[in-house]
Amino acid sequence: MLNPQTEQRHAFAALRSQKKLHHRDAAKELGMSECEALDMHVGHNDTQMHVKRLAGKGADFAAIIQSLQRVGSVMALTRNEAVVHEKIGVYQNASCHQHTGLVLGEKIDLRLFYKQWEYGFFVEESSATGYSRSLQFFDATGQAVHKTFEKPATDTAAFQAIATFFASPIQQAGITLTPADPAPPPKADSLIDAQAWRNAWASMTDTHEFFGLLRKFELTREQGLRLAGVNNAYRVSNTSVRFILNEAAKRKLEIMIFVNNPGCIQIHTGPVSNIKILDNWLNVLDPDFNLHLREDLVHQSWVVKKPVTEGLVTSLELYDNNEQPIAYLFGKRKPGIPELNTWASLICELERLPLT
């Protein structure tokens, strides 16, 4: 008779092979997080999946990320509940300072918040479609923060060597997840000095100042946008992202797409071309960049205009039903260079929703 964890491993394998479910979805069917599903395979070799736990946590994982350049081209994946962002390239110019990491490659562009990184695994799995290898990192709640997948051009020996070098000396299952803290209730609008907030907004010279201002005024991001004034932020249809991606493809406009979770921001900069819709999924299916967005999970869409030294930076921002960010879209730009007029003009084609 199999013990419960062995039964769960075999059930997970069956869901993977028979229903073709992704790790996240197979784990959900079994009533566990993706992190727990991987962990239960550590130290066991009775299925097609072999999982090795990585040593350390938090900024300890920065050394792994900084070592990835030597393996060559891989696929970087960052996701949240509503969107998956996949980028093929090399982890170049990786650095870490006070628990915050950067990867500034030609293709792979990341902001890494290592305080949120709690667990890491090296995963090898055989299936009907072939053999896959990946590094996968999770936060304390068991949610994935970032993954790195082997591709045909990857140096497999170097990839495996990294996993071996950074492996934990203890290779047995057993983790304890921490429930996510509930979000504090938002500050009442009546307690907010809206004019002071708008004045502070107008005084910004860099988009990164926005986050500090939210903390200073004790605002949620949605409050900050709603109270910014209609010249600074306004609601648009939740189909706007579909329109923007299709038009960017038609006009060959280079854009930036940011996808984030608490542990990582992943950025695509460049054109998009192959836009496809499948059920609720809006997809970009380009050779080196894939995006998979659940349009039905987009609860609010905002056009946001922030002042910077070079003028204005305009974005389309998507939020879920908990007012958490899903994705941000910008025209391609770099500090010191004004945003593209073609991007600003495209955003102006979106119809404002009436104030409620």
What is this structure's pTM?
Answer: 0.96
Superfamily holding 189-280+296-348: HemS/ChuS/ChuX like domains (3.40.1570.10)
**Identical fold between 4-92+117-165 and 189-280+296-348:** yes
- The runs of H, that is alpha helices, within the chain are 4-18, 23-29, 34-39, 62-67, 156-165, 194-202, 209-217, 221-226, 240-251, 341-348
The CA distance from 268 to 105, in Å, is: 11
CA distance 131 to 147: 16
What would you report as the CA-atom Rg of the chain, rounded to the nearest whole angstrom?
21
pLDDT tens-place values along the chain, 356 residues long = 457 888 999 999 999 988 889 999 999 999 999 999 999 999 998 788 999 999 998 889 999 999 999 999 999 999 999 999 999 999 999 999 999 999 999 999 999 999 999 999 999 998 877 899 999 999 999 999 999 999 999 999 999 999 999 999 999 999 999 998 888 888 999 999 999 999 999 999 999 999 999 999 999 999 999 999 999 999 999 999 999 999 999 999 999 999 999 999 999 999 999 999 999 999 999 999 999 999 999 999 999 999 999 999 999 999 999 999 999 999 999 888 899 999 999 999 999 998 76
* Calpha distance 161→142 (Å, rounded): 26
DSSP string for residues in 271-298: ----EEEETTEEEEE-SSEEEEEEGGG-
Give pLDDT, residue 182: 87
Class of domain 4-92+117-165: alpha beta
Name the residue ranges covered by the structural domains of the chain: 4-92+117-165, 189-280+296-348
